[in-house]
Amino acid sequence: MLSKSLLPPEPASPAHICPFDQACSYLEAAAKELNLNQGLLEILSHPRKVVTVSIPVKLDNGEIQVLAGHRVQHSDVLGPYKGGIRYHPAVTLREVSALAMLMTWKCALLGIPYGGAKGGIAIDPKRYSVGELERISRRYISELIKDIGPSVDIPAPDMGTSAREMAWMMDTYSVNVGHAVPGVVTGKPLSIGGSLGREMATGRGVMIIVREALADQGKSLAGVRVAIQGFGNVGSAVAELLSEAGAKIIAVSTGAGGIFSEVGLDIPKLKVYAAKNRKSIMGFPQSISISNADLLTLPCDVLIPAALENQITEENVNQVQAKIVAEAANGPVTLEANLTLEARGVTVLPDILTNAGGVVVSYLEWVQGLSYVFWDEERVNREMEHLMVQAYHRVIQQSKVRQIPFRLAAYTLGVGRVAQALTDRGLYP
């Protein structure tokens, strides 16, 4: 067993699935397939830098609360660290470390010149006022001021954060260094150098990968039955784009539960309904209430987990009826469940490919910012689609040549590219 010495141990509960151990298992499987030497594997198993800062914040009632903010920089072998910042109660240092590692493989697989990182604060943003969130975001970034920068580490939105938080972070960084630095974050508002197409990008990427996978099976999106877990930034965008393309979205859910309609939900109307009801979808006309657990096991063609990790596990995998599982979230299928699905011949479209649209458009935003030339949305979408489709075909090709499942194929491509760069750069000193 490798020692991941920079990280604290995970609580020892038999039911607990440690996301970092899982990420390392996928890395080890790829290393085995690639015949990587043990030293390289050791380097890639360890994040390069793990930072935890304390964030004292004055609440609106005058009390002071101290939060812990993490930033894990897994690898910068191929370029600046890149990855989102998550505000969610389930954030732990090990989870952030796992997600940072996934970012390294994701960027390498897509061929964009970045390493991998992730940040997070264990809070439920819904429990804080806008003013409190602004103070938390600003203090978090100012504590990390020496660790980030447009050629060092470039944060972006993730679960619980959006363009609003990126604007505060860009401003805090810029005020601290004395001039405007738009390139320090991506996923910014358009007014300060954001890119058209960024908000829908992850959802659009998921739609593209599902469309390509269906095409390989001789099918189109028209009429396919889709269930989507999650109706946040990613889930709602993918629902909208798939329904526009003719797919039937039979169910969606949020943390509070899900809704089902045999004839398909009217997604544009559902988006308006959710916006009016403080993001709640429950009670949407002509739908039946279901639980999140029910959604995962519905009879459908495509199941899209677009929420948290570890949703399809040994407990429920045998009830999953979908023929394609598209991982819009990071790590929604556990290691064991993944093996079961693969053995049953279910197509599992892995996270590091399927949800890469977000970071691809982040890269396009960064490129536009550095070159001071901004593109129309059509060009952004076209460039993103090109990179996604290319990566998809590389994965399929690798899977065929090596006779391995898609996930392992994607990992061998991502890990292989980083390992090659590491070998060529050599070890300092």
- Active site residue ranges: 118
Residues in 145-174 at the binding interface with ligand GLU, rule: CB under 6 A? 156, 158
Binding residue for ligand GLU, selected from 47, 83, 116, 193, defined by CB under 6 A: 83
Contact pick of 92, 172, 195, 362 for ligand GLU (by CB under 6 A): 362
Residue nearest to ligand GLU (CB): 84
Question: From the list 22, 92, 137, 186, which residue makes contact with ligand GLU (rule: CB under 6 A)?
Answer: 186
Burial class from Cβ neighbours inside 10 Å (0-12, 13-18, 19+) for residue 253 reads buried
> In 297-350, which residue ranges form alpha helices assigned H by DSSP?
335-343
Residue 327 C-beta: closest distance to ligand GLU, Å: 11
**DSSP E strands, 271-321:** 288-290, 302-305
Of the candidate spans 10-18, 82-90, 125-133, 313-321, the one that interacts with ligand GLU by CB under 6 A turns out to be 82-90
Picking from 60, 218, 200, the residue whose alpha carbon sits closest to that of residue 129 is 60
**DSSP-based three-state secondary structure for 401:** helix
Contacting residues for 205 by C-beta, under 8 A, at least 6 apart: 354, 355, 356, 357, 358, 360, 384, 388
Structure tokens at 74: 């897994």
Tell me, residue by residue from 201 to 240, as one string, x for binding to ligand GLU by CB under 6 A and - for no binding. ----------------------------------------
CA distance 115 to 188: 20
Close Cβ partners of 179 (under 8 Å, ≥ 6 residues apart): none
For ligand GLU, what does the binding mask look like between residues 296 and 335, x meaning CB under 6 A? ----------------------------------x-----
Stretch that binds ligand GLU, among 24-32, 50-58, 254-262, 358-366 (CB under 6 A): 358-366
Contact between 359 and ligand GLU by CB under 6 A: the answer reads: yes
Query: Quick one: which segment of 213-221, 282-290, 334-342, 356-364 binds ligand GLU (CB under 6 A)?
Result: 356-364
Q: Is the peptide bond before 429 cis (omega within 30 degrees of 0)?
A: yes
Interface ranges with ligand GLU (CB under 6 A): 82-84, 156, 158, 186-187, 330, 355, 358-359, 362
